[in-house]
Structure 1
């Protein structure tokens, strides 16, 4: 049986399988043989090569629960962000989050292992029914990306909001106006204060989650930043992730990705670039993920760099 005939976006329900003669036992054999993956009760994904990584597995489970609840709720929070291909931070990827179209008693209308359906929020209304048999009837519904970014922040803190909001602006998945409007929609929700304060830091020039988090931490430490700062040194133009405004201190966030393949040319080019900048009087502070979890140490490093640049 060609499972692609019954799957949508790589996901199918047991009911879909039953229509082509695949019962519970047959699905069990397909799972055992590695041809499909069980996502939740009654939901499966086509298995393609290596087991899906955590974020991809969350995407598949989001599609499954999004289809299961599509007439009563929309994918939201980090689940909506993952579906849109946007980065997340501190997201609890073991649980798919949705938001109800209609009011429900209490704060959460469904809460069980693996899935939560949150209460309705302003501006979300039950959509009209799809045309029977249309492709749209097989796709999960989702809240606006701006709402999801704010919800992610309410769930995991302001850095989670900033990472999502920066990426959404950069991908043109949301606008600054939509983000401000979403913050206003959630004005009475617990935890909105820190998210609202991070709104002023949102900038599509933050080109990665690491840069978004660097901007947040350094701003909270009292440093004023200029992102994507251009420097001309020895006749060449260079761009740094940040400059500490009013100083000759540059800040670079180094994720592991660009060094992952072990290409020595990358390391050599980075060293040569930094040597040129230093000869021109710039002090470069390089950060990695662990530095962002040590604000006191980070403050001392940046202050020392500012003192050195002023010599």
Structure 2
């Protein structure tokens, strides 16, 4: 990659516009050559991301890169701000179950519009815009509920839980944001997110687990519950606890098991919980894709726990 392009990309968060390239003296043929070679990835007309960074980015890192590139391509003072999952991605709030388009809201009274890459919505109240390193963005509270109205409760819950956990939103702000959506046809989905949102969900997997449990008709368990032994000594803190049924549910992202020591420690912990009379159910990302499987596993654990008693 040309040194001047590499330098500008580093200064601009690994994104650049056609105007940036023209200012460096590159013409259309040279830009097309950089795209063909993979030095740059074109997100849309006039908006680019570093090819090296794009290819190395995890799927959950790409929405922020897309949003940043589109904004850069719109010029120094675009009349739009990131909204929905694009605002959340820019603010490093978890996103799940959305589309790949960049969602923006207008800062003026212009109309909404959309294409294959960008979806522009009508303006939101100024009170729900915050300053970020890319300019104004929709507040995480409202953005989470915007996601719910467009992609469903589960998607909105993942982001709302994360926003509460990261202290980027409060329950009061979620309730205020819900009032902004009072005329939205899918307001009920947003209202359900406000009702269920919890700062105790420590990952997107835990947020999704809560939703799947509800979706199959199970009650919500305690979150981040502490387990003690017969002497009252602390044994473990678990993701979810059905206390009366004596069933523990752990969401297992599997990432920690690259360390053999961590794997052994986790096995000993689980053995101790079973010694105390608890059933332990581990759920993975694949399990969450099959809610009926989750229901069967939980109901089987309830039955085993009853038989023990």
Q: With the length of structure 2 as denominator, give the TM-score of the two structures.
A: 0.86
| Aligned equivalents of 1:47, 1:301: Cα separation in 2 | 44
Shift of 1:233: 3.2
8 A Cα contact 2:225 2:239, kept in partner = yes
More helix by share: 2
How many aligned positions are there?
Answer: 297
| Aligned equivalents of 2:46, 2:128: Cα separation in 1 | 27
SS in 2 for 1:82: helix
Alignment match, 1:88: 95
| Aligned equivalents of 1:224, 1:33: Cα separation in 2 | 52
Please point out which of 259, 265, 269 is paired with 2:261: 265
For residues 83-232 of structure 1, what are the structure 2 equivalents within 5 Å? 83-93=90-100, 95-105=101-111, 109-123=112-126, 139-220=134-215, 221-232=217-228
8 A Cα contact 1:124 1:143, kept in partner = no
8 A Cα contact 1:101 1:124, kept in partner = no
| Aligned equivalents of 1:240, 1:125: Cα separation in 2 | 35
**Aligned-CA RMSD value:** 2.6
SS in 1 for 2:168: coil
| Aligned equivalents of 2:22, 2:79: Cα separation in 1 | 24
8 A Cα contact 2:129 2:137, kept in partner = no
Spell out, residue by residue over 1:208-227, the C-alpha distance to the aligned partner (whole angstroms, 9 max, x if none).
11101111222342313110
| Aligned equivalents of 1:36, 1:145: Cα separation in 2 | 30
| Aligned equivalents of 2:166, 2:39: Cα separation in 1 | 34
Q: Which moved more, 1:75-84 or 1:238-247?
A: 238-247
8 A Cα contact 1:201 1:215, kept in partner = no
Alignment match, 1:48: 52
1:292 and 1:87, CA in 2 relative to 1: closer, same or farther beyond 3 A?
A: same
Q: With the length of structure 1 as denominator, give the TM-score of the two structures.
A: 0.86
| Aligned equivalents of 1:126, 1:174: Cα separation in 2 | 13
Q: Which moved more, 1:66-75 or 1:49-58?
A: 49-58
SS in 2 for 1:246: coil
Alignment match, 1:38: 42
1:252 and 1:125, CA in 2 relative to 1: closer, same or farther beyond 3 A?
A: closer
